[in-house]
């Protein structure tokens, strides 16, 4: 993942994009925690809301893998298919962890 290219695609400087990435990470970690709790509680509405938040922000920043994971979770929640969602949430977490590592370099 090349932050310079992603920043350029959005018409931003790399430093400015990095600031948005940091904000995205902070917000997404909070949303991910809410998402994990909602999955355990089988609360379709809360799952959908948290996934939508992550998905939308990831899309705005060009973070395709995180967007796709959020989209899948949101779609499954819309269809009341929360069974087995833990693996997909874990995959989302792994992608977010990867982004955190890249942002810290």
Over the stretch 65-97, which tens digit does the pLDDT of each residue have?
999 999 999 999 999 999 889 899 999 999 999
Q: What is the pLDDT of residue 1?
A: 76
Mean pLDDT score, 44-54: 96
What pLDDT is attached to residue 33?
95
* Structural domain boundaries, residue 35: 13-103
CA 85 to chain centre: 15
Which pLDDT score is estimated for 93? 94
DSSP for 66-102, written as a single string: HHHHHHHHHHHHHTT--TTHHHHHHHHHHHHHHHHHH
pLDDT at residue 84, as a whole number: 86
DSSP-derived letter for residue 13 is: -
pTM given for the model: 0.89
Please indicate, yes or no, if residue 8 is contained in any of the structural domains.
no
95 belongs to a structural domain: yes
* pLDDT tops 80 at residue 105: no
Residue 27 pLDDT greater than 90, yes or no: yes
Residue 4 within a domain = no
**10 burial level (CB within 10 Å; 0-12, 13-18, 19+):** middle
- The count of domains in the chain is 1
How high is the pLDDT of residue 17? 93
User: How many Å apart are CA 76 and CA 105, to the nearest integer?
Assistant: 34
CB of 49 closer than 8 Å to CB of 72:
no
Q: Is residue 70 part of a domain?
A: yes
Query: The CATH number of the domain where 99 resides is what?
Result: 1.20.120.160
């Amino acid at each position: 993942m090349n932050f310079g290219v992603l920043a350029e695609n959005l018409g931003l400087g790399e430093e400015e994009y990095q600031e948005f990435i940091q904000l995205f990470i902070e917000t997404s970690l909070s949303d991910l925690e809410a998402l994990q709790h909602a999955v355990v509680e089988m609360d379709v509405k809360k799952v959908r809301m948290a996934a939508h938040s992550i998905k939308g922000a990831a899309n705005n920043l060009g973070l395709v893998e995180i967007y796709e994971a959020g989209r899948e979770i949101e779609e499954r929640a819309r269809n009341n298919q929360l069974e087995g969602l833990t693996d997909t949430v874990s995959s989302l977490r792994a992608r977010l962890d990867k982004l955190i590592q890249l942002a810290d370099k």
